[in-house]
Structure 1
Amino acid sequence: MLAKHRHFLRFTTRGLTDEQTGRRTTASELCLGGLIKHVTSVERGWARFVVEGPSAMGDASAMTEADWARRADEFRLLPGETLAGVLDAYAEQARRTDELVATLPDLDATQPLPKAPWFEEGSRWSARRVMMHVIAETAQHAGHADIIRESLDGAKSMG
């Protein structure tokens, strides 16, 4: 299922230039290149969480203004970044995640979630639950990407 939604997300960028994948086409701040960067970062973070636990994700309450600004840059194609580069990074992270999942001895092993206002205090997620979250996030952003692409030039990925 994750491979399917990764495909749809990547497919939205077919035939586009770097400039087009950096363009905002809706009221949202999102662009295609930024969405792929964001999903790559999310997948990387959750894969690290599965192995390292909550320390891999940091403490959201300790984030500075500069940390939030860097996080906002995940959603943009920055000067010097290319579509090919973000797609390559995404493919590499997908390979690493797939390898991790294939080699985990127990998908039901849990880690405590990091402190964050969006997590219930004391909650734990299994590797299986983490992967369900990554699938849901990827699917949601593939849908966002489809809307952005249709607004850009009328092409559809999933319609």
Structure 2
Amino acid sequence: MKEFLIETFAHHRDLIIFLHIISAVIWVGGMIAVRFAVHQSLALIPDPKLRLERSAHVLKRLFTIVWPFVIVLIVTAVLMAVGFQFRAAAMDASGNVINEYMMSVYNTVHIKEAIWVIMSINLGAMMFRRRKAEKALREGDLEEAKNMLGLIAKYMVPVNIALGVIAIFIGVVLRNVH
């Protein structure tokens, strides 16, 4: 399997890197647009029920758009991590460190991967909360819908934006290694 991943990366390197970058841009950029542009406009809707319904709808659309890119991002991250052969440059087959600098690069790759995984888990939690908010709206429970959506807007999306920007920065740093 490892050889297949290395060979696939070698033959499609530019496409894999492009798909990885565009996936990150769409995911993080979409969250920035929704949080700092759309959210502000939705706040101007005077009717609380309509505001919550529109918020739930916007998030549904965002999640529908970004979820496939999240999958592409994770798949391309694995292809790049294996394809760039960070581990082989950092340690031998027995797990002994052979190059301290490349070991730090290898560890940085894992940090970046962990960030994307945390963001993916957070996205799943946001999707779950949004569905619960939509159900609460159908049942006429505006307070529950507000609680479900409020946490997403105030904390969950901003956390993912911050983590996404950090991951993109780490990606730039790692790109300069090769």
Query: Which of the five TM-score ranges fits, normalised by the shorter chain?
Result: 0.3 to 0.5
Higher helix share: 2
Q: TM-score, normalised by structure 1?
A: 0.36
The structure with more radius of gyration: 2
Larger RCO, structure (CA 8 Å, separation 6 or more): 1
Q: TM-score, normalised by structure 2?
A: 0.33
